[in-house]
Structure 1
Amino acid sequence: MSTAASAASSRDLPHPERADIRLEAVLHALSDPMRLQIVRELAADGGELSCSRIDLPVTKSTSTHHFRVLREAGVVRQCYRGTAKMNGLRREDLDDLFPGLLDSLLAAAARQTVRLGG
């Protein structure tokens, strides 16, 4: 294996296959307000955002933890582009496995934000 291929593979992040995504893991991942905020921002953008583009009121290590929980639950896909870790919502996978769940959660979160004056 070449040095470039070795370096690239060492930066690959593990993701669950679509068939391995579990509802309880998704719901757990989305039960935290910071992780829900990340998902809302990714859904609003519709594409990919770097970790640094999502401003969370937590330390960098805590932010990293939240992204890891979302990735390991199958909610987001992360990949490196240069030095940036890019994040994209796995909407197609989630919609296929749990039809309507993501849209319902995002709508409920938006209503809660309005209700709480946020």
Structure 2
Amino acid sequence: MQAVLECPKTTVIRLQGNLNAVNALEFERDLTAALTQNDVSILLVDLAAVESLDSAGLMAFVSALKLAQNLGRSLKLCSVSPAIKIIFELTQLDGVFEFEDNSESVTVNF
């Protein structure tokens, strides 16, 4: 009998500053590029240093999540401050996205 174990590769993107209409398109392109790499299974976006998030930034996350789902990959958000987390709660997207406490807390299951 042969057993095959696949170890998913996690890529971490650490954001800082403001995620808004000025830079949301560039951010979405970066997420798309990271998700379409052949060896990436989990894309973890670290929001610890993000100061603000507007609707354009939120839409970049939604687009990236749709792409991840279509590719059979996982998109997780971590280190989300209460001020940013409330935006996800107000838009009822907190039930759609996966949240981790910090980037070290991501577990890999075999």
Shared fold per TM-score greater than 0.5: no
Larger radius of gyration: 1
Q: Between Structure 1 and Structure 2, which shows a larger proportion of helix residues?
A: 1
What is the TM-score when the length of structure 2 is the normalising length? 0.30
